[in-house]
């Protein structure tokens, strides 16, 4: 992937990279997802650093971190909170669940039942939840990192499509390359226990998010984007095409990625860089395995930016 992170963002990435060695690109994509105002689904085998990434990301961003470890016996109220009757005051009092946080790590989200998973639906889409008819607003920004183990694992429930669609991006972390791994094994880097310094103020975060939404998307690139969307829907090789929300996610993510590189306009390269992250969990090949690389190749060998 061709990209150069703008100097204002490199400290952020470097800070996290000390804990997640050799994964700059993954970190950058996660940051882009955050600035684009989306949620992130990390899908990989246990032990490659999903939780590490989430934890340090929250620390660097200075957001208050909440974590829910999903299990199969979990109920929606365990996440959202409950109205309980306070005898002292003689009224129902709402006890906030762990979701009331800015940075939520939904760990092993596919271990819980679909009913529980769906508790997150409204929260992720609207930034608020409704309990017993009362609307509770979640803090802003509200960022969810869901992690899930590969579907084949015992005791997992596949995420419903509606849930999947609410994650802006999804990617794996993968094994570190041999050089990085050597450093980790030597114990030189990758102290996952230590705490990262906060590098951004809430005002900075807000301005970055604003900037990401204001990045220019030229007509020519819109054409290209629409061609891609049309291809996912019309080529007939996917079970479903990209939804409108998916298309919006692709746009937002592309813009955010452009901002990370210090540009105020989107290029075809940006689109190429983020497409597989946005599409892998949304599209499914009718035949064969759906992988990020296959999606990338399938789309970009068929759809070419003419310019």
Q: Three-state SS string across 213-250, please?
A: HHCECCHHHHHHHHHHHHHHHHCCCECCCCCHHHHHHH
Q: Which pair of structure tokens corresponds to residue 20?
A: 């997640």
Tokens 């409204």 identify what position? 122
Instruction: Build a one-symbol-per-residue string for 220-239: x at contacts with other proteins by CB under 8 A, - elsewhere.
Output: xx------------------
CA 82 and chain centroid, separation: 27
Give the one residue of 2, 7, 87, 197 binding other proteins; rule: CB under 8 A: 2
Binding mask 198-217 for other proteins (x = CB under 8 A): ------------------x-
Using the contact rule CB under 8 A, the part of the chain among 31-39, 42-50, 109-117, 258-266 near other proteins is: 258-266
84 binds other proteins (CB under 8 A): no
Closer to other proteins by Cβ: residue 40 or 215: 215
Binding to other proteins by residue 267, rule CB under 8 A?
yes
- Applying CB under 8 A, which of residues 241, 268, 290, 294 lies at the interface with other proteins? 268
Q: How far is the CB of 265 from other proteins (least distance, A)?
A: 4
The correct pick among 58, 170, 272, 280 for binding other proteins (CB under 8 A) is 272
Give 71-78's long-range contacts (Cβ < 8 A, gap of 24+): 71/108, 71/111, 71/112, 72/111, 72/112, 72/113, 72/155, 72/157, 74/112, 74/113, 74/116, 75/115, 75/116, 76/115, 76/116, 76/118, 76/119, 78/116
Give yes or no for residue 7 binding other proteins (CB under 8 A): no
CA–CA gap between residue 5 and residue 10 (Å, rounded)? 6
What residue ranges bind other proteins (CB under 8 A)? 2, 216, 218-221, 263-269, 272, 296-297, 300-302, 304-307
């Amino acid at each position: 992937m061709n990209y150069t992170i703008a100097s204002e963002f490199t400290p952020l990435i470097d800070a996290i990279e000390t804990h997640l060695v050799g994964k700059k690109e993954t970190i950058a994509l996660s940051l882009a997802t955050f600035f684009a105002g989306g949620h992130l689904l990390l899908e990989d085998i246990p032990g490659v650093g999903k939780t590490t990434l989430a934890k340090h990301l929250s620390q660097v961003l200075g957001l208050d971190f909440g974590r829910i470890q999903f299990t199969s016996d979990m109920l929606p109220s365990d996440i959202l909170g409950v109205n309980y009757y306070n005898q002292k005051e003689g009224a129902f009092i709402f006890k906030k669940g762990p979701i009331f946080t800015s940075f939520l790590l939904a760990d092993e989200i596919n271990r819980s039942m679909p009913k529980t998973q769906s508790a997150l639906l409204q929260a992720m889409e609207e930034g608020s939840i409704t309990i017993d008819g009362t609307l509770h607003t979640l803090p802003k920004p509200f960022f969810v990192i869901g992690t899930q183990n590969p579907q084949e694992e015992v005791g997992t429930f596949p995420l419903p499509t509606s849930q999947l669609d609410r994650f802006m991006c999804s990617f794996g972390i993968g094994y570190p390359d041999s050089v990085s791994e050597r450093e980790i094994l030597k114990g030189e880097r990758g102290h996952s226990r230590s705490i990262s310094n906060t590098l951004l103020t809430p005002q900075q975060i807000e301005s970055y998010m604003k900037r990401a939404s204001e990045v220019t998307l030229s007509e020519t690139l819109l054409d290209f984007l629409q061609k891609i969307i049309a291809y996912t829907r019309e080529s007939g090789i996917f079970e479903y095409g990209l939804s409108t929300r998916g298309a919006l996610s692709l746009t937002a993510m592309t813009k955010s990625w452009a901002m990370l590189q210090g540009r105020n306009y989107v290029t075809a390269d940006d689109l190429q860089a983020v497409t597989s992250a946005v599409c892998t969990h949304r599209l499914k090949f009718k035949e064969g395995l759906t992988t990020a690389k296959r999606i990338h190749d399938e789309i970009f060998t068929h759809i070419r930016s003419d310019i």
